[in-house]
Amino acid sequence: MDENKQQQQKDVYHEKQKLQFCLLHSLNNLFQEKNAFTRADLNAIAEKLVLDDPTRGKWTPLSLIFKPHHNAVTGNYDINVLIAALEGKGKRVVWHDRRNGAASLDLDGSEGKLMGIVLNVPERKYGGLWRSRHWVALRRIEGVWYNLDSDFAAPYTFKDTEEVRESLDIAISGGAEILLVMNE
- Cα–Cα distance, 36 to 178 (Å, whole number): 21
Q: Which of 14, 52, 134, 160 is catalytic?
A: 134
Nearest to 84 by CA among 129, 130, 44: 44
Q: For this structure, is 11 an active site residue?
A: no
Among this protein's residues, is 149 annotated catalytic? yes
CA distance 54 to 52: 6
169 is a catalytic site residue: no
Q: Which of 70, 108, 149, 160 is catalytic?
A: 149
Q: List residues bridging with 118 in a β-sheet.
A: 137, 179
CB-based contacts of 127: which residues, under 8 Å, 6+ apart? none
Catalytic-labelled residue, pool 22, 25, 70, 96 = 22
Collect contacts of 156-165 with beta carbons under 8 A, ≥24 apart: 157/1, 157/5, 157/9, 161/107, 161/108, 164/102, 164/107, 164/138, 165/102, 165/103, 165/105, 165/107
What amino acid positions are annotated as catalytic residues? 22, 134, 149
